[in-house]
Amino acid sequence: MVDKIAKMFYGNLAKGKILGAHCKDCGKWTFPPVAACRECGSRNISYKKISGKGIVHYYSTSILPPKKFAKYSPYAYGLVELEEGPTFLTMIEGLDASTPEKIKEGNENLPAKVRAKVSKKAGINVVLFRVVK
Ligand SMILES: [Zn+2]
């Protein structure tokens, strides 16, 4: 089940479509999509395109990035809240994570609007967020 969802998720990313899990029972969204609703545990889920609009609340740096993303480090990694409701930690473009001072400065300007985009990193399509004005 998990593999099936991952396959569908990445298959859609390749077409530039970012899917979230929308619960048909409680109406809440889960992102990244999983088999069961994070709010109520229901498996009565439909997988639908998300708006891609969100807000970044805070960020830090990628001190210990996953091995496959090590070559992009340091990058900004922070808490994003989607318009649809779910919050998660993700890679964010447009924020300076190069030094502790820059990170402190950058956080003083938050929250800021972000927009999801599909990007190829380490040969795979990933969802990342970019700060928009
Ligand atoms: Zn639910």
Instruction: Give the model confidence (pLDDT) of 48-58 as tens digits.
Output: 999 999 999 99
- Distance of CA 36 from the midpoint of ligand 1 (Å): 8
What does the pLDDT look like over 66-100, one tens digit per residue?
A: 888 888 889 999 999 999 999 999 999 999 999 99
16 and 73 co-located in one domain: no
84 and 121 co-located in one domain: yes
65 and 42 co-located in one domain: no
Residue 79: beta bridge partners?
58, 89
56 and 113 co-located in one domain: yes
* CATH number of the domain residue 94 falls in: 2.40.50
62 and 124 co-located in one domain: yes
- Distance of CA 29 from the midpoint of ligand 1 (Å): 8
What percentage of the chain exceeds 70 in pLDDT?
98
15 and 64 co-located in one domain: no
Q: Does the reported pTM lie above 0.85?
A: yes
* CATH number of the domain residue 33 falls in: 2.20.28
76 and 45 co-located in one domain: no
Furthest-apart CA pair in the chain: how many Å? 46
Token pair recorded at residue 32: 């990244």
- The rounded radius of gyration (Å) of the Cα atoms in the chain is 15
6 and 55 co-located in one domain: no
- Distance of CA 75 from the midpoint of ligand 1 (Å): 33
Number of domains, the chain: 2
Handedness of CA 73, 59, 49, 9 (dihedral sign): positive
Determine the residue type at 88.
F
Which residues constitute the domain of residue 19? Answer: 1-50
